[in-house]
A and B are shown apart, each in its own frame.
Chain A
Amino acid sequence: MPDLIEIAKGLLESKEVSFIIGYTKDRFGRVKPYIAKSVEDANNLMFDHHSIHNLAVYLTRLKIPENGRVGIVAKSCDIKAIIALIQENQIKREQVYIIGMNCSGVVTHSTDEWKKENIQIKCKYCADKAPMLYDAVAGTAEPFEQPDDTQEVLMQKLETMSSAERWDFWAKEFEKCIKCYACRQVCPMCYCEQCLAEKNQPQWITTSPTPAGNFSWNIIKAFHMAGRCVGCHECERACPMGIPLTLLTRKMGMVAGKEFNYRHGMAIDQPTLVGSYNFNDNEDFIK
């Protein structure tokens, strides 16, 4: 199998893509997003279990040339975000050259070791770690020990709580929010040119990081992810206050799956859940 650098060099040399969104290591060995623009740059590309960032976010942040194409290095979880962006008409399939990576699970912090306790929970549910939509594939997946789903335990605990207790749980979590909007900026599915949180005529969301302002922000962000979140966990990774944001989005994803048999980011030609209407849609679970 050709390796990542070779594929990237070929693409940049033939000018098939104008740049490649990938990962590199800085001189301390920390992995970070990187844009390779020349054959020379391609030598700096790499991929390993620290390649945690979901680079699909850059597909809407960077300018993709109108009729051009860009390359992107993507794990199978990131590919879901790319598919979702295509489903939502934010990019066209032909605008991206997907270099799918066979992945061995990723760990959250650049200094964390690749071991069970540090591997992200999402990796446990990643079906076969092999990319599902791609133009080229690189890398080898190594077997790894599955992490414990500590989130599921917490979810079950939340299910058994009364609504007052749940309110208290979230009030305590949201209180911590400092409105840095890292959760929004890092999210591949948050691509609005003007976020609702920035509108002030009328002001839908109070800008203050106060209990009221935080509740409206965090709940609205979560609502906007209903049936749209692809479960990349980037919001939670980016949150400096350690708020368990994906508890909400994961739960909504589960509801979308159970009630509508829908999962976002699985097929580019599938109509989106929120963008399509079906007479048989279940609604009696909405209270």
Chain B
Amino acid sequence: MKEFIINTDEIANLISSLPADKWDILAPAKDGKSFDYVLSSDKPIINSEAPPSKISFKEYFFPKSETLFYYKREANEISLTEPKFAEKKLLVLAAKPCDAASLPILSKVFNWDYKDEFFNKRVNNSVIIGLSCAYSDESCFCTSVGLDRNNTKGSDIFLTPFNDKQYVLSVVSDKGDSFVKEFLPNLTEFTGTKETKEFIDNKPFDYKKTKDWIAANFENKIWAETGEVCIGCAQCAFVCPTCHCFDIVDENCDLNCGRRIKNWDACQFGVFTKHASGHNPRNSQEKRYRQRVSHKFDYYYEKFGEVLCTGCGRCTRGCPAGIDIGEIVFSISNQ
């Protein structure tokens, strides 16, 4: 891995010198008390100690609402038009390792049988600069799902703080390599050693074993106990970097035109599995919550060999009912 030294001024220069008509920059910024990824913020925050944003950056790759095509009827002819796709490039700056890692996870789903061209285009048009993380709270558990503070999964370039003014910049992917060559050609090579903060996982589990327990415990009281306090919103799924369910609907503008749209959806909603007949196979929150955990730690693992979770803890921090997914999986794996 090629490594360079980059100082804060050089990062500021990079931000101001990227041609604004070709590049958007997405970086964390502070809004009141919470952090959020903000597009073209004038105060991007590059700080490893910052907490994760309230909601992940997945919206920039898998928008909350996306037009697939427009339809129109004239006389008796029906015509379809494709939506305009903004070909602008996206630089994500200071992504948490637990955010960056979600892109390869989502990619597997969006390329498994059908290739989602919109998602792929957005990923191809982006460069992710990950930032080593020095934050942690009770909700984090990245090391339990095979990641860590310095994990470069999903990043094209990775920054590790070296001192107050300097970062070690590691080139992770070919895309990252071309980006550095084009926009940061004058960096000095780095040869020293980096020091980073250790992460102490307070709910360690082995994600490779969790799967079997979940499969064997389809009926366990933990689902009922969680389901009775879970109020069934989709906060957890919508803030999550890896949840990817969507609903496809048609919206008409009048009798003769409209568009087909893909919107975020989530398994915590009662209507998610409700059949037209009125029958609902997941007719209680207990079953719906079990689906959430099973999909993430069993079904996805079964299919793709990794879990559908980066341990970012967002779902937990924001849960209005105080449900902690890491704690649930931890207790599962310790039973």
Contact = CB atoms under 8 A, between A and B. Distances in A.
Interface stretch (A89-97, A130-138, A223-231, A233-241): A233-241
A180 B65 contact: no
Given A35-B228, A238-B235, A26 B249 contact: no
B138 interface: yes
5 shortest interchain CB distances as A-B pairs: A32-B322, A182-B233, A238-B320, A185-B233, A28-B138
8 contacts: A26-B324, A33-B229, A53-B322, A181-B234, A186-B320, A207-B247, A209-B65, A241-B54
A62 B232 CA distance: 12
A209 B234 contact: no
B229 A240 contact: no
B80 interface: no
A187 B264 CA distance: 22
A86 B66 CA distance: 43
Contacts of B228: 35, 58, 62
A185 B266 CA distance: 14
A179 interface: yes
Contacts of B238: 178, 180, 240
A34 interface: yes
Interface string A80-123: 00000000000000000000000000000011000000000000
Given A34-B229, A61-B231, A181-B233, 17 more contacts: A32-B322, A33-B322, A53-B321, A61-B285, A179-B263, A180-B234, A180-B237, A181-B234, A182-B231, A182-B234, A185-B233, A208-B65, A209-B65, A209-B263, A238-B233, A240-B54, A240-B235
Contacts of B124: none
A152 to B, nearest CB: 18
Interface residues of A, number: 37
B67 to A, nearest CB: 9
B263 A240 contact: no
Contact of B249 (A30, A33, A61, A207): A207
Given A34-B229, A209-B65, A240-B55, A26 B322 contact: yes
B263 A32 contact: no
Contacts of A272: none
A256 B231 CA distance: 29
B299 to A, nearest CB: 22
Interface string B250-271: 0100000000010110100101
A210 interface: yes
Contacts of A18: none
Nearest to B236: A180
A26 B320 contact: no
A146 interface: no
B34 A242 contact: yes
B189 to A, nearest CB: 42
B25 to A, nearest CB: 20
Interface of A: 26-28, 30-35, 53, 57-58, 61-62, 110-111, 178-182, 184-186, 198, 206-210, 213, 234, 237-238, 240-242
Interface of B: 31-32, 34, 54-55, 64-65, 137-138, 202, 225, 228-229, 231-235, 237-239, 247, 249, 251, 261, 263-264, 266, 269, 271, 285, 318, 320-324, 327
A206 B238 CA distance: 18
A213 B261 CA distance: 12
B234 to A, nearest CB: 4
A26 B327 contact: yes
A185 B65 CA distance: 21
A237 B231 CA distance: 14
B138 A30 contact: yes
Nearest to A112: B33
A180 B322 contact: no
Contact of A111 (B32, B137, B232): B137
Contacts of B55: 178, 240-241
Contact of A180 (B235, B247, B323): B235
A172 to B, nearest CB: 13
B324 A208 contact: no
Nearest to A111: B137
A110 B263 CA distance: 31
Contacts of A241: 54-55
Contacts of A208: 65, 249, 251, 261, 263
A182 B322 contact: no
A213 to B, nearest CB: 8
Nearest to B316: A30
B248 to A, nearest CB: 10
A28 to B, nearest CB: 4
A213 B247 CA distance: 14
A63 B213 CA distance: 29
A181 B271 CA distance: 12
